[in-house]
Structure formats: C-alpha cells, structure tokens
Copies of this chain bind each other. A is one copy, B any other.
Amino acid sequence: MDSKTKTRMTYQRQVILEELAKVTSHPTAYDLHKMVNKRLPKISLGTVYRNLELLSESNEIQRLDVSGHQRRFDANAKDHHHIRCIHCSRVDDLPIDTTSVLEDIVFRTSEYTVLGHKIEFYGICPECKVKEQKHQEKDDISKDKNKSKTRR
C-alpha cells in the first residue's frame, strides 16, 4: 500500500498471467482458478482474485466489469470493446476502432446478431469536483510534488 512496497514475482502470479494469456475467452476468476489449478493444485481462489486485482491495477491485464454479470479478465490490457451473448454470457472482442461505434458497424464486423448496446460513461460529478478542488488546495499548502491529477 505504501509507495515504496516492492512487488515480488511469485510463481503463482506468473502462472496466472501465462494461463490468462493463453486464452481469448475473457474468463472469470473462478474459470481461471480451474485453469491454473491444473499446474498448481494447491493454489487458492483468493490468490487468483488478489493477483488478478494487482495485475489489473498495474495495467498488465484488464478487468471487465460486465453489467449485471460476473467480473471477467482480459490478458489484452489495451482498451477495446466487447460483445456479450444474452444466452450463454460468452464475451468476445469487438474489433472496431472506437469513436464511430454504431450497431450496424458491429453488424458488419461480428458474427453476432446484435440486439442492442449500452453505453456507460464515467467521470466526476460537479459535487465531487468541488470536493476535489478543496483537497487539492490543502495538499498544495503542505507539499506540492504531485503530477497533474485533474484534467480539464
């Protein structure tokens, strides 16, 4: 948690990373535990969760928080879109180059029958922006070795 904690490359972490990289199926933590378990029969589900969390925080992998469904993980850390089957919950990549994202574009790029899509924006609400500014001021008084935290 400190800024000067050294993360160690454990064998467990390495195997988790390797097994995730082998597949394009966006497995859940549980799926991955089953996979890794074949090589490390003693590894615990908690270890898989913790490492997936760490790896995604350090941007080596990507966490997919699928609306209303179980969390999934992706060895491809680059930002890209996904499509989920409403029947079997399978998740696949969507090889579209962002921005001009319309359903008929997907229709041409994917084997799926597209039924719809959901866009979720995220950001900082006006209230929190004010709070953030106040904190910034306090920090600026004590020390000011921070990179630019806020944008725009």
B-binding residues in A (CB < 8 A): 65-69, 71, 81-88, 90, 92, 94, 99, 101-103, 106, 110-129, 131-132, 150-152
Contacts and interface: CB of A to CB of B under 8 A. Distances in A.
The A interface, classified by DSSP as helix, strand, loop or mixed, is: mixed
Contact of A114 (B68, B116, B118, B121): B121
Given A66-B67, A113-B129, A151-B113, A85 B121 contact: no
Q: Give the 5 A-B residue pairs with the shortest CB-CB distance, closest first.
A: A65-B68, A65-B67, A85-B125, A112-B123, A117-B121
Contact of A113 (B87, B102, B106, B123): B123
Contacts of A106: 121
A142 to B, nearest CB: 22
Chain copies in the assembly? 2
Contacts of A132: 87
A107 to B, nearest CB: 8
B112 A121 contact: yes
Contacts of A118: 119-122
B81 A124 contact: no
